[in-house]
Chains A and B, each alone.
Chain A
Amino acid sequence: MNYRELSIDELHELLVSKKVTPLDLAKEAIALAKADTNNAFEYIMEKEALEAAEALGEPEANNPLWGIPFVIKDNFSTKGVPTTGSSNILKGYVPVFDATVVEKLKAAKAIAIGKTTLDELAMGGSGITGHLGRTYNPWDRSHSRIVGGSSCGSAAATSDGFVPFALGSDTGDSTRKPASHAGLIGFKPTWSRISRFGLFPFAPSLDTVGIFSRNVKDCAYVLNALAGRDEKDSTSSTKPVEDYAKDIEKENKNYKIAVIKEIEDSISNNVVKDAFKKSVEDLKKAGYQVDYVHVSNELLLTLFPTYFVISCAEATSNNANMDGIKFGPLSEGKTFEEVMLNARTKGFGELIKRRFVIGSFALMKENQNELFVRAQKNRRRIVDAINDILREYNFIYLPAAPGIAPKFDDASDKLSDEYLIADNHLCIANFAGLPSLTLPIGFEDGMPFGANITGRAFEDKDVLKISYEIEKLTGLKNLVAKGGQK
């Protein structure tokens, strides 16, 4: 039987009625993973998954994740399972502990099938900088398009139908951008809503655990399993959690939605623009108030450099523990400095080295005020502007990306407004810690593209609810890439 296009609800029904067993699902997912042609996997957890599936016992009718297979971005620590962050500097690293989210999904009796590729240590948006090379977009059979990053493998595996959901991480848009390129739901909940313990840090003030799924309700189920206070992550919120799936279909026509005109305007692709405008019209027709609001181009142009400086600065410190002493491959040297230098020179790829240098330069005493601190001040300026909008509106609704997944050899002009705004505005939600969800709204040349809905901090449930409404309006759910299938 083919389970690839089924939702968690549908799989759950099959499992509870014992028409299919967790072992059947795990076996199929593993077979698919093994036949993967998109370079989505760092490690397939065959033995672990089959053992876990066999050990499950009786179905749990009230536990929608029971027996459901999923994959884990390889920057989550998994006990006894190699975890590389797609970097050579962690080649051979086998953690001695599980990330809290991994622990929670195990406790929910979901079955981890494998560890997925990412841009090296989650720094990148293309899915090409990991140590295993390019990860391909399953929607494009010719392997000429990126799926996007940094959570490239999780996006590829989910959109190829290997699993109904996946763990990602999101520092700037690392879950939500690939979701747009892969026709998926990509959700970055409120910062601190999910424990980051065991997530390899990139920039802790921006990092959030991300969820990929193929429909909104599935995403809510996963959030139910993950959300909540964890004393191992002292930044995790003590605010009570909700049942995010309950009454998700109940409409709330009082929601007010804002669209930032300048961001929409920065997009040149008319297919994307038209689809987005149509989605806005559909929402209005459905009875929601949707208004265009304004944020100056001047401010929007600062999004990317602000993000770049803050994230690089934090990253250079967060990866200073990788030195070939406590873990990582053996490197030689006559002094400890040489040992560390050789480990880091060989272990890190060039892109992230450049980011580390930029980040460390931004933190230097004589530069900090003009780079890092300036970026931190500008971050607040951006956040203030966004929160001003959200005081009046429940959500900000925008195209998630300026177009469909780019080709590997497409070079975007890094100084164009389209790049700086349309391609990089998703980091706003990271700056302000807001819940933010990408979902598919259309296709161009058979490739999907998405829109993004961002809500107020801790109003994750409202974001899921309005997303559910949009999903209903577009009818785009449970998409599975056709290109990658044999």
Chain B
Amino acid sequence: MKTYNIDVLKDAANRLLFDMSEAEYKTLLNEFDIVVKQMKLIGDNKGLDAYEPMVFPFECTTDYLREDEPGEPLSREEALRNSPRKAGGQIKLPRVVQ
């Protein structure tokens, strides 16, 4: 596992596109210590690897697939109503440099 410290956590936060206060990073580091310790303990259980990782609460395989029928689209007004960056029927951002 990746080693972690305040800088690693800051980097992780920035990759999630937000920042936090210094105090919060300290709190986070403490929380991290606890979780990592607890997860280590779970890993100490020898039989654990025999268990298939559980994604769904119970067996729920389906055969449902949606028919390919388009629904009524949102009007442009509805689609963009909530955007703080709407401009001329589109959403406007600072130039995205590729």
What's the interface size class on B, roughly?
Answer: 35 or more
Given contacts A358-B32, A371-B39, contact A326 B83 (CB under 8 A): yes
CB of A337 closer than 8 Å to a CB of B: yes
* A-chain residues with CB within 8 Å of residue B27 when the two chains form the complex: 350, 354
* B-chain residues with CB within 8 Å of residue A323 when the two chains form the complex: 17
For A341, give its contact among B17, B31, B42, B48 (CB under 8 Å): B17
Interface size on A, residues (CB 8 A): 76
Q: Assess the A378–B19 pair: CB atoms within 8 A.
A: no
Given contacts A358-B28, A358-B31, A376-B54, contact A324 B38 (CB under 8 A): no
* A-chain residues with CB within 8 Å of residue B21 when the two chains form the complex: 350
* B-chain residues with CB within 8 Å of residue A380 when the two chains form the complex: 51-54
Given contacts A330-B84, A350-B24, A375-B42, contact A381 B35 (CB under 8 A): no
CB of A292 closer than 8 Å to a CB of B: no
Bound-state Cα–Cα, A282 to B87, Å: 67
Q: Could you give, for residues 31-59 of chain B, a 1 whenever the CB lies within 8 Å of some chain A CB and a 0 otherwise?
A: 11011101101110101110111111110
* A-chain residues with CB within 8 Å of residue B49 when the two chains form the complex: 377
Bound-state Cα–Cα, A339 to B16, Å: 13
Bound-state Cα–Cα, A96 to B43, Å: 45
Which residues of A are at the interface with B, using a C-beta cutoff of 8 A?
92-94, 96, 191-192, 205-206, 231, 234-235, 237-238, 298, 301-302, 304-306, 308-309, 316, 320, 323-331, 333-341, 344-345, 348, 350, 353-354, 356-358, 360-361, 364, 366-367, 370-371, 373-381, 383-384, 414-415, 430-434, 457
Which residues of B are at the interface with A, using a C-beta cutoff of 8 A?
1-2, 4, 9, 12-21, 24, 27-28, 31-32, 34-36, 38-39, 41-43, 45, 47-49, 51-58, 60, 62, 64, 66, 74, 78-79, 81-85, 91, 93-94, 96-97
Beyond A306-B42, A327-B82, 20 additional pairs, beta carbon < 8 A: A94-B82, A96-B81, A205-B56, A238-B62, A326-B82, A338-B94, A339-B85, A339-B93, A341-B17, A344-B17, A354-B31, A371-B1, A371-B35, A374-B39, A376-B55, A377-B52, A380-B53, A383-B54, A414-B34, A431-B57
- Nearest 3 A/B pairs, CB to CB: A433-B57, A376-B53, A330-B84
